[in-house]
Amino acid sequence: MIKIEIVNSTKADESFLNVRLAKGKSSDAFVENTGYVPEAGGYLVFVDSTDARCFQKAGRTVGSLGIKKVRVTVDTSDGLNLDAIRAAQFVIGMYSEGLERSGMSVAFDLNDAILDSVRRDVEFITLGRIFANSSNNQYHTTDLVKTLFKELNSAFERFGGSGTMSFELYKKGDSLFDLNCRGLQTVGKSSVHEPCLAVIDYVGPGASEDRVDIALVGKGIAFDTGGYDLKGSKFMETMRTDKSGLVYCAAATALAATMGTSKHIRCYMPCAENMVSGNAMVPGDIITYPNNVTVEIGNTDAEGRLILADALLLACQKKPSFLLDAATLTGAAKIAVGRDMCAVLCRENRIDEQLQQAFDYTGEEYWMLPMREYHKRYITARRADICNTSHGDGAPGSSTAAAFLSFFVNPEQKWTHIDLSNAYQSDSSPYLAPGSTGNTIYALAHWIVGSQY
């Protein structure tokens, strides 16, 4: 159970420190642009209302002070207001790794209905952050997806979710896995922990079981050594978080279900470990996928797209109204946009308007990167249709990765790819503590609920 307590201000006793949020700036006695100053009973934290995440920034300011019990008040006289989104942002910003165990408490002057929605949103986003950052020896492939679903489903039931949410697990010996999951079989054979494909299927009240409205696909590399193209220790130490796409898509699905979407949502979770062994894939190996696309392994550290291909092909079979995948796929995305936003790519080179609205509403940030037909020239192969890594001068890594995935998505399928450059940060930012961020869970959940697909 996550020990994050969110209560009405009337229930906050003298052990809660007062934090007042207001516009303005510190007096001349302080260094220019000081974010907070002490005042009677606590702190005054300055917010810039032009920043969509100013309340999250305030929460991070409070969390960085080592405070874990606060009563938050807002100076409404200068136009600030507190709602469910901003309250959740504050808690998300205040949270840091370990507080879910030791406990943190936040009190707001909000009614019970709003506080319930804040508790719900924070619960699912925090679960996403915890699982994405979990160590490899805590959860391996099948344990990861089963335990993750158990915790998400428990929260779904606890917060009164309606509709039906089910879970299926496919692995070696299941015909669906054996016939369709060529990428998972190739990547996962290097580990003693078997690869698998898990599916969360949510059918909202009144939704058709036969028609899938939205399909999500999340990359789940439980740990990534890089394989025989071995990562250096500096780049390997955080590879427990290479499962963030899987975790965040699952959390967004469960949160949307709990929020009350009436859609039919399917979340595909391909999961494997990329290890070094006598049985591992090596450069030059060739995979033939069920759609007859052949792939030459140019780099064993470009394994995520190999398992995404399996799930994308399966998702397309259901002909969803919209298909979206999310993955910690390329270092190039982090170089291009940093760790404060994700990269979005799609064939139209224009973000879906309803997805953009969800990002804007939750205050999460994204940036469009190009996806062009001519990017495919960077992934040509001499011995197969395509290569799993790019080559040539100036090859744009994020765009060529999306070009690779496009071979496994029907041309007529509405599809968006998210490169999760902001899934994890090793250092604190103005908005979040170090560690897994949970970024995109909030936006994707609101998109699922509010879109017309």
CA within 13 Å, CB half, 225: 16
160 C-beta neighbours (distance < 10 Å), count: 10
Closest of 195, 329, 327 to residue 274, by C-alpha = 195
Residue 88's Cα: distance from chain center in Å? 17
Compute the distance between CA of residue 341 and CA of residue 367 in angstroms, rounded to an integer.
7
- Under DSSP, the state recorded for 350 is S
**For residue 22, which phi and psi values (nearest 5 degrees)?**
-155, 155
H-assigned helices in 11-140? 54-64, 84-94, 99-102, 112-132
128 contacts: CB under 8 Å, gap ≥ 6 = 247, 248, 250, 251, 436, 438, 441
Q: Which residue has the tokens 């130490």?
A: 237
331 burial type by CB count under 10 A (0-12 exposed, 13-18 middle, 19+ buried): middle
**Catalytic positions, please?**
231, 305
Amino acid at 172: K
Compute the distance between CA of residue 104 and CA of residue 67 in angstroms, rounded to an integer.
9
398 contacts: CB under 8 Å, gap ≥ 6 = 329, 330, 332, 333, 336, 343, 345, 369, 419
